[in-house]
Amino acid sequence: MIGILLISHSASIARGVKELIEQMAQGQVLIAATGGTLDGDLGTSTDLISQAIASLVGVDEVLVLVDMGSAIMSAEIALEMSGIPYLMSAAPLVEGALVAAIESTRPNATIIEISAAAERALETKGVAPVVEQPRTESPPVPPASTGVEMTLTIMNKIGLHMRPAKDFVTTACRFASVIRARNVARPERPVANAKSMIDIMKLGVGFGHQIHLRAEGDDALQALDALARLVANNFGEM
C-alpha cells in the first residue's frame, strides 16, 4: 500500500490540502499532513514529520510532496529514521497531491507511476513542467481487429471538473482495452488517454460538450457501455 505524506511550512496549508484530497480519495488512500514548527511558527519540524509518518500505519511506501525545497531535508531525516521506503516528488503541493491521490486509487499503480502523474499536474493549467520527467507508461494492450466508437454528451452543469473526471478515469481503468477520448467541441485539444487524469482534464470538457470515445481490446464494448452509463447518470451529480 502506498501512503501520501504532505509537508508544508504552514500547518494550516497542510491541513487544507489534506482535507481537499481526502474528498477525492474517499478513504481509499492513507494520507498524512504536517506543517509548521513545534512552537507553531512557520517552518518544518522533523519531530512533527515523524509523527505524521507514524500515522500512516500499514503502508509499504510513502510518496512525499512538499511546498518548498527547504522542507526536503527535514523530511528526509524523518523518513530515514522511520525505515519506510519513500519517494520525494517534484510535483506542486496542491495540484500534485490531488493527482497523486486519484492515481493511488488505481489498482496496481506503482509509486513511480503515481509520482510521474503528479509531476504533470500543472499541465491541466496549460503550464509545462519546468523539468521534463520520464514518464512510466503501462505496456499497450494489443488492440482488437476493430475498435468500438461512441460519442457522449456531457450534461452535468460544470462539465468534467475534478470529481467527475476522477470517476471517468477510475471507470476506464477497470478495463484492459486501450481507450482514447477527444473533445469534439475543442478539436485543437490533444486526443486523451482515458485512463490518465491529466489527459482527461486537459480536454477542457464543459457543459454540453461532446466527447468521442474509441476503445480497442477484448472488453472494448463493455468499457464504453460503462462510461456511457456514468455519463447518462451525470456522474451522480444533480
Q: Quickly count: other Cβ atoms within 10 Å of residue 234's Cβ.
A: 13
- DSSP structure string for 198-222: HHHHHT---TT-EEEEEEESTTHHH
Host H or E run for residue 5: strand 2-8
Residue type, 122: L
How many residues are present in the chain? 238
Report DSSP letters for 50-107, one per residue. HHHHHTSTT-SEEEEEESSGGGHHHHHHHHHHHT--EEE--S-HHHHHHHHHHHHTST
DSSP three-state, residue 169 = helix
Alpha carbons 55 and 59: distance in angstroms, whole number: 10
Residue 9 annotated in active site: yes
The alpha carbon of 187 is separated from its chain's Cα centroid by a whole number of angstroms, namely 25
Cα distances from 73 to residues 85, 193, 230, in angstroms, run 16, 36, 44
Kindly name the residue from 9, 161, 209, 212 that is annotated as catalytic: 9
- CB contact at 8 A, 133 and 212: no
The set of catalytic residues is: 9
